[in-house]
Structure 1
Amino acid sequence: MEEAVRTVWQGAMTLGEGPVWDAAAQQLWFVDIKQHRVHRLDPATDAVESWPAPAQVGWVLPAEGGRMIAGLQTGLATFDPATGDFTPLAEVEPHLPGNRLNDATVDADGTIWFGSMDDGCELPTGRLHRFDGAAVTTTAIPAVPITNGPAFAPGGDTLYHVDTAGGVLHAVTIDADGEPGAMRDFVRIDPDHGNPDGAITDSAGNVWVGIWGGWCARCYAPDGSLLREVRFPCANVTKVALGGPDLRTAYATTAKADLTEAELAEQPLAGGVFMFEVEVPGLPVPVARLRS
């Protein structure tokens, strides 16, 4: 398969993240965490619409009733694209002002699983939380400096949890009661090849992960073997989303953070959004539960 990626939007994002495909609207949502911006791409025109966020924003997800939920540094909030308003919904880690929210997914029941991280990327204060539409609970998964992923296998019995600083993707068994159980190493990334960033799964259970500092996104089979590596014209590839009418179009966010002036000059497309085609389709992202 042709490995070339196409530039969709030269957004020069400082920290592009959180791409998610809205199947109902056939649009891509993503964010720039450091510039406090929410973006929406219309693939029909390649036009991008943007909204300012009141704080660092790790992700936005479609929720029940046509609403959106955003993961801000200050906690969860509803987001109304029609007005641009953010309304506080739930505090997260108010005792850790140096933390922020970083990445998220939605399980089959509509529960949002999301992680936090040390904004300085050093202290092991990042935890994995859940929001069931009414309340936030913290999982027992051990804290790390930077959480990423999370992503569920198609059957929902395995959660992929990324320890970015540690260079490892963990596979966590989800017990019959829905709680995280045994955790094992799924894939370890050689630090010379970059660090694992956001992760998703496709309909065959393969795991796509962006590689920060690695100039690529990788796809791993459920047994951990490497299936595919897609190269990019910039180093910091943060996360992939599978979208399009048949869920076979991959969209990837990137970042220009941590690049020197010389590196930025060599990577003029850093911080843009890219696309490429895949053979195995993705999975529709469930709509997040939001109790009135």
Structure 2
Amino acid sequence: MTSHHPFVGTVLDETRLELGEGPVYDPDLDCLWWFDIIGRSLRRYDLATGAASARTLPFMGSVIARIDGTCHLVASDEGLFLRDLATGEFTPHCELEPVSRGNRSNDGRVHPCGALWIGTMGKDAKTGAGAIYHVAGKTVTRIFDAVSIPNAICFSPDGATGYFVDSKINKLMRVPLDATTGLPTSAASVLIDGRDLPGVFDGSVCDANGDIWSARWGDGALNRYDASGRHLARHDMPARRVTCPAFLGREANRLIVTSCWEGLGADERAADPMAGATFELGIPVEGRIEPAFRL
């Protein structure tokens, strides 16, 4: 039976982001990174001080992955870049797809083997314009094509199962993987059909037990499912358009959720005043530190 929990957490960051996305905890710096994709900014929250800061980006960034404590990999509408932590400078790493396609990066996550799964989509969310790619070093492999809004990319703790969704289709997919490479070994199948449920699947993350924590955009909820797709819990959130969860802290025992106000008019924003803020769920969780990307 699904348990229903009212929000007991806090606002981690009050800044209202038009499209808050891509949160990830960095154990090297003990901080949280996340983006305002449309606002072209990269935000940082330092756990030791509770201070939040931001830097303007030269592109639309959506995913950040640590590498070795000296640089990060950043996915954007202009491809993949290495970001030097000492200088903040960006160096091109590789191209995902031609910029002329008019796409941008969206959801993504590093597989336990160190390869990146990264999704692209049309900047106008054109149906079927995007894809999901597997990036190992500089080798880019398209693994799912004709994707409209790629989301919910996450992996089981052993790396043998991948999850993803096309939010326009609203079916959470499960696919068997080669745990040593992060590449699919057979076709994807539907784990949860969300078409008849309120809202749509957005960003997701797997905890240490293999349970899936999934933001429900439009429904103001963070849902928890087990690996069989059974709905374990619903956690209400203070904003309806929640976008992506992430585990936080060196013990990965905290959980945060980003949100957005993209697409809301003035009256709708007034009715959803916390849209765009970043929240902490306020309950202990058994999370995992995200793997580093392997160059």
Task: State the partner residue of 2:190.
Answer: 185
1:201-250 deviation line (CA, Å, top 9, x unaligned) = 00000001111111111111111111111111211100000112321110
Task: State the partner residue of 2:222.
Answer: 217
Match of 2:116 among 112, 119, 122: 112
Match of 1:149 among 144, 152, 171: 152
* 1:79 and 1:85 in contact (8 A); partners too: yes
Q: Which runs of 5+ in 1 are unaligned?
A: none
* 1:199 and 1:240 in contact (8 A); partners too: yes
Distance 1:65 1:16 in 2: 24
Root-mean-square deviation (CA, aligned residues, Å) is 1.8
Task: State the partner residue of 1:208.
Answer: 213
Match of 1:123 among 99, 120, 127: 127
Q: Where does 1:1-292 land on structure 2 (aligned, <5 Å)?
A: 3-94=7-98, 96-139=100-143, 141-175=144-178, 178=181, 179-180=183-184, 181-190=186-195, 193-290=198-295
- Alignment partner of 1:193: what SS? coil
Q: Which runs of 5+ in 2 are unaligned?
A: none
Q: How many residues align?
A: 289
- Alignment partner of 1:64: what SS? coil
Corresponding letter in the other structure for 1:168: K
- Alignment partner of 1:262: what SS? helix
Distance 2:192 2:178 in 1: 21
* 1:250 and 1:276 in contact (8 A); partners too: yes
Corresponding letter in the other structure for 1:246: E
Instruction: Decide whether aligned partners of structure 1 residues 85 and 191 sit closer, same or farther in structure 2, where only a CA change above 3 A counts.
Output: farther
Distance 1:186 1:26 in 2: 34
* 2:205 and 2:246 in contact (8 A); partners too: yes
Shift of 1:118: 1.6
* 2:158 and 2:179 in contact (8 A); partners too: no
Shift of 1:191: 5.3
* 2:198 and 2:219 in contact (8 A); partners too: yes
* 1:128 and 1:138 in contact (8 A); partners too: yes
* 2:250 and 2:289 in contact (8 A); partners too: no
Distance 1:288 1:176 in 2: 15
1:252-274 deviation line (CA, Å, top 9, x unaligned) = 11001111211111222211110
1:127-186 deviation line (CA, Å, top 9, x unaligned) = 1112212222221x2421011121111111110011111111100111477431221111
Instruction: Decide whether aligned partners of structure 1 residues 192 and 228 sit closer, same or farther in structure 2, where only a CA change above 3 A counts.
Output: closer
1:42-67 deviation line (CA, Å, top 9, x unaligned) = 12332112111111111111112521
Distance 1:279 1:44 in 2: 19
Say which is worse superposed, 191-200 or 221-230, in terms of deviation. 191-200
Distance 2:218 2:15 in 1: 19
Distance 1:163 1:57 in 2: 19
Distance 1:5 1:177 in 2: 37
